[in-house]
Amino acid sequence: MIYLDNSATTKPYKEVLNTFIQVNESFYANPASIHEAGVESNTLLDRARAQMAKILRTDDRQVLFTAGGTESNNFAIFGIAKANTHKGKHIITTEIEHASVLESIRVLQADGYEIDYLSVDSNGVISLQELQEKLRKDTVLVSIMHVNNEMGAIQPIEEAAKIIHESSRATFHVDAVQSFGKMPIYFKDDAGPDIISISGHKIHGLKGSGVIAFRKKMNIAPLLLGGGQEYGLRSGTVAVPQAVALAKAARMAVENLEQSMKKYRKWHNELMEFLTSFGSVIHILSTPNGAAHILSFSVKDLKGEILINALQKRGIIVSTSSACSSKQKKTSHVVLALKTPPNFVNGVIRLSFGGLTTDEDIQQFKKAFTEVMKELKGE
């Protein structure tokens, strides 16, 4: 099987799985317990936290472990909004955010918050001028994803951060689920985000692991109430094996980042040229300036499921749009926001690369896709 759906999830590295097993076997005590075994587990947890903090360039106490990207996004949005109503109840986000952001914001909208949605151009990128115009004195939160999960558009995070910090008191949250470990993302004083969300299973870590990290100490409402773990912000026994495994996956991703980016860009460019050779029957949603590890395109007048099944018969695994919405029988909000031509909206296919993708995988995809296109034409 050739797996090209790494933006949906990745296969855990063996080193990560081994770390997870070893911690479960030897450090299974509750890290909140005061006995020796508990202290040892807590020491390991602190080490994982420090490793994540170093990678993100923040303080150890500004890193919290969660159950994944969705929880981290929910935490950021509800936590900041609920704790800062004295600043205002106005929120800015974009039309193409992940559902974990959009659905959270819709709940707040029903609770009386005012929401402004930034539009995107044909490349999937926001307008900084529109961001500037929509910022208000009562803007409490701006949430903008770094890399779009469906077509790979990269948002101008640093420029947006500068505008937000200079023109408002708003907290700037960045969903970095699709960028962390694939391209540089970390805290940079006022030239970057205030909050970053990360998911472990997107970087060859484990499902059920994630991080929410802060540039500095923030006024944020707790996500879970109980025993006061994670500095009182996320109560519940901390899953030490998941945290340590995530730190391991993150270290591996960052250590291999430069090499990975070069490989992804090579494949991205090669496949863009390959798909362009089919002419007007193919519409490419991704752009040359987008994230190198995601490439989305559509075949004219063809449902994506047909193409997925045809490729699957040849041992190639790809996806339609995002995994979170692919089972829903409706057109993606991202595809609509990009003003995709009507004949192409139902046939969007996403290829996404990971640390286990090889050159041979790319060549096999090209061969299989060429066969499928001939088959569909009846040749």
Quick check: is 25 catalytic?
A: no
Question: Residue 270 CA to chain centroid, in angstroms?
Answer: 24
Q: What span, in angstroms and rounded, lies between the C-alpha atoms of 366 and 357?
A: 14
Question: Residue 32 CA to chain centroid, in angstroms?
Answer: 30
Given 32, 128, 323, 324, the catalytic residue = 324
Q: What span, in angstroms and rounded, lies between the C-alpha atoms of 334 and 296?
A: 11
Residue whose tokens read 């047909």: 306
Q: What span, in angstroms and rounded, lies between the C-alpha atoms of 100 and 10?
A: 19
Question: Residue 246 CA to chain centroid, in angstroms?
Answer: 15
β strands within the chain, DSSP E: 2-3, 63-66, 90-94, 114-118, 139-143, 171-175, 195-199, 210-214, 282-284, 294-299, 316-317, 348-352
Which residues partner with 282 through β-bridges?
A: 299
Cα distances (Å, whole numbers) of residue 207 to 99, 114, 129, 299: 18, 34, 38, 32
Residue among 164, 121, 163, 162 at smallest CA distance from 142:
164
What radius of gyration, in Å, describes the C-alpha atoms of the chain?
A: 21
* DSSP element (H, E) containing 158: helix 157-167
Could you tell me if 144 and 98 are in contact, meaning their C-beta atoms sit under 8 angstroms apart? no
Structure tokens at 168: 């408002």
Q: What span, in angstroms and rounded, lies between the C-alpha atoms of 98 and 198?
A: 13
Could you tell me if 373 and 277 are in contact, meaning their C-beta atoms sit under 8 angstroms apart? no
Cα angle value 318/321/323 (rounded, 5°): 75
Residue among 2, 5, 1 at smallest CA distance from 318:
5
Active site residues: 324
